[in-house]
Amino acid sequence: MYAIIRTGGKQYQVAAGDTLKVEKIQGEVGDTIEINDVLLVADGDKVTVGQPVVDGARVTAKIAEQGRAKKVLVFKKKKRKGYQVKKGHRQPYTALVIEEVAV
């Protein structure tokens, strides 16, 4: 059984036992969260597609880690003008362990 969920403006395919990194969600490590934005649930040959979400479907997950991704460097330069800027960015993320997919 797997589901397609929407969180942080992105869609993910998840099943029980999966680990995935999503945009930062408020909470402490070890907290259990419930995601109700389930777009599709597939159980063998039975596929339920929501319009836009599946009524009564939920995905339960546990927060495994709160962290920041690797640094991305942003470098801007204008030739012959003496202008250059170097910036770095680290996107915060939340690592989730999917515990249950329920309809």
- What's the rounded mean pLDDT across residues 77-96? 98
Is residue 71 classed exposed, middle or buried when 0-12, 13-18 and 19+ CB atoms within 10 A define those classes?
exposed
Q: What is the pTM of this model?
A: 0.86
Res. 15 pLDDT band, cuts 50 70 90: very high
Res. 20 pLDDT band, cuts 50 70 90: very high
Q: Which residues share a beta bridge with 82?
A: none
User: Domain residues of the chain, as ranges?
Assistant: 2-102
In tens, the pLDDT along 29-84 reads 999 999 999 999 999 999 999 999 999 999 999 999 999 999 999 999 999 999 99
Has residue 22 got a pLDDT over 90?
Answer: yes
What pLDDT score does 103 carry? 86
Q: Give DSSP secondary structure letters for the chain.
A: -EEEEEETTEEEEEETT-EEEEE--SS-TT-EEEE--EEEEEETTEEEE-SSS-TT-EEEEEEEEEEE---EEEEEEETTTTEEEEEEE--EEEEEEEEEEE-
